[in-house]
Amino acid sequence: MVDLTLLGSLLLAILGAFLFFRNGFLKKTEESKGDTAAAAAATVVDERECRSGEGGDDIIIVGAGVAGAALAYTLGKDGRRVRVIERDLTEPDRIVGELLQPGGYLKLIELELQDCVDEIDAQRVFGYALFKDGKATRLSYPLEKFHSDVSGRSFHNGRFIQRMRKKAASLPTYLRLPANLDISIMNQSLVIVTLEQGTVTSLLEEKGAITGVQYRTKSGEEMKAYAPLTVVCDGCFSNLRRSLCTPKVDVPSCFVGLVLEKCDLPFANHGHVILADPSPILFYPISSTEIRCLVDVPGEKVPSISNGDLAKYLKTVIAPQVPPELHGAFLSAIERGNMRTMPNRSMPAAPHPTPGALLMGDAFNMRHPLTGGGMTVALSDIVVLRNLLRPLRDLNDAPTLCKYLESFYTLRKPVASTINTLAGALYKVFSASPDQARNEMRQACFDYLSLGGVFSSGPVSLLSGLNPRPLSLVCHFFAVAIYGVGRLLLPFPSLKRMWIGARLISSASAIIFPIIKAEGVRQMFFPATVPAYYRAPPVK
């Protein structure tokens, strides 16, 4: 009996010890799980997230215009920690950047930003109407192969930018938890795009690499921010680009902007280009009740607004060339006196690859705004940069990253060089000239586009960003020149006409070849021969 009691006590002791150690082990396991969960909560990342290090920003973006705001959203959506420093976060009020071509809208869709043209009274644009000497021809975008929603969009630039800023700032992280972790431990999301108002005064450099920026806050406090990559998107008046590129800025003309009210365009939902003397006039809708008018004035200065010279110029020189349907509204807009001016700048991309920094947007590359291609180029560049950065988990090796990103300058060329070259060439062709050969080229261009079919759809597909092929651009450009020579020689050629035809070909060459040279012949036509084209992501 004693033996049985002793045996029972022994078994109970063993069972008690087992339960004690088991409970202690489970408690430690739960604590360990809790610690793992807490650690995971602190370091949780999106499946596309590519952290550069513990804490801090991955990328600093200087400027929150079209390029900066779109880039911030795109990189933030991919899990990067982005700090955007913008001089003025209030709604911009500009007279350009209001027409987005269909090719740009397709890029907007690719970046998942197409909803930013909603709720701002944006107008759909289906093509252009071209006017010369009382005649008009309509040039429609070749949209037959695209979804019905695809078209151009025109809007108030400031409203569009504010929509993108808001979307970027409200972007939360997408959380990816370990498979063995209970998702209930995470009940919060972290904002990873920070928009801050401040003026960047300089780039911070260390051992030949850009490490961040120095800036002045809205309250006047001097601050510094650091990140492995700084993207400068501070616009056409950039004060930071000189250390990152060779800026060769040309100002061929200025725009005078007015807003027309209570009138309808001759061709609804179309941009209108009047081949006026001395240079083109543009009309396009920016809301359901407003039409933007941009009068191009050659040269770097416009007549004085304060003493009435500009109003007199618009009334006496420009108004007689405006279509009758818009004439009254044009004069009324002048009488209201709300005239804005802006220099039209062009600047070929001439980057200095710099570790830790990259230029984008108008700070990097500009073209004449006649064709409305600036936003299309900027959005296309963002798609290229996003695709290059996506495979990278670490941005901290600045020299290696810089060498890899040299491919950006080549991969962007098909779209950028096509739109840049077309903008520069068209402005020169569409402007009046005392040279008879140039005027023949101008008339030939109008007649060529009026032929319809491939003669209009081909050039318009280039202008719209739907067919970014430089070789196609050159073919159409010289087809216009040859068509112009044919007009001169028929029905009866003469020595004088043959001489004008030869000068026409020479003039066409003098227009387009310098632009192509500035863009880079090899990168523009033979990008696959550039070594950087094949740059692979660095492995670390």
Express each pLDDT in 489-500 by its tens digit: 998 899 999 999
Q: pLDDT at residue 14 above 90?
A: no
* Residue 395 parent element (H or E): none
C-alpha neighbours within 13 Å on the C-beta side of residue 362: 22
Alpha-carbon span 252 to 299, nearest angstrom: 5
Q: pLDDT at residue 463 above 90?
A: yes
DSSP state of 183: G
Mean pLDDT, rounded, for 389-397: 93
User: Which pLDDT value is given to residue 191?
Assistant: 60
Q: What share of the chain in percent tops pLDDT 90?
A: 82
User: Which pLDDT value is given to residue 442?
Assistant: 98
The separation between CA 233 and the C-alpha centre of its own chain, rounded to angstroms, equals 10
Q: pLDDT at residue 85 above 80?
A: yes
538 band by pLDDT with thresholds 50, 70 and 90 = confident
44 band by pLDDT with thresholds 50, 70 and 90 = very low
Range in 1-15, 49-63, 142-156, 342-356 with the lowest mean pLDDT? 1-15
Q: pLDDT at residue 526 above 50?
A: yes
Mean pLDDT, rounded, for 177-183: 39
Mean pLDDT, rounded, for 243-249: 94
Residue with tokens 């109008």: 446
User: Which pLDDT value is given to residue 510?
Assistant: 97
Mean pLDDT, rounded, for 185-205: 79
* Angle at which helices 495-519 and 470-489 cross, to 10°: 170
Residue type, 430: F
User: What is the pTM for the complete model shown?
Assistant: 0.87
Is 46 or 304 the better-scoring residue by pLDDT?
304
Among candidates 79, 80, 98, which has minimal Cα distance to 155? 98
* Residue 247 parent element (H or E): none
φ and ψ at 537, to 5 degrees? -60, 140
User: Which pLDDT value is given to residue 536?
Assistant: 86
Name, in order, each residue with C-beta under 8 angstroms of 260's C-beta and a sequence gap of 6 or more. 283, 290, 291, 292, 293, 326, 329, 330, 332, 333
Is 52 or 241 the better-scoring residue by pLDDT?
241
Q: pLDDT at residue 444 above 90?
A: yes
179 band by pLDDT with thresholds 50, 70 and 90 = very low
Q: pLDDT at residue 37 above 70?
A: no
Among candidates 67, 97, 65, 152, which has minimal Cα distance to 292? 97
Q: pLDDT at residue 35 above 90?
A: no
540 band by pLDDT with thresholds 50, 70 and 90 = low
φ and ψ at 284, to 5 degrees? -160, 150
∠ Cα 285 286 290 (to 5°): 75
Mean pLDDT, rounded, for 107-127: 98
Strand order in the sheet with 250-261: 135-140, 127-132, 271-274, 281-285, 290-298, 250-261, 340-346
Copy the structure tokens of residue 276: 């006026």
Relative to beta strand 229-232, strand 59-62 is: parallel
Mean pLDDT, rounded, for 317-342: 96
113 band by pLDDT with thresholds 50, 70 and 90 = very high
User: Which pLDDT value is given to residue 277?
Assistant: 97
User: Which pLDDT value is given to residue 190?
Assistant: 59
Q: pLDDT at residue 185 above 80?
A: no
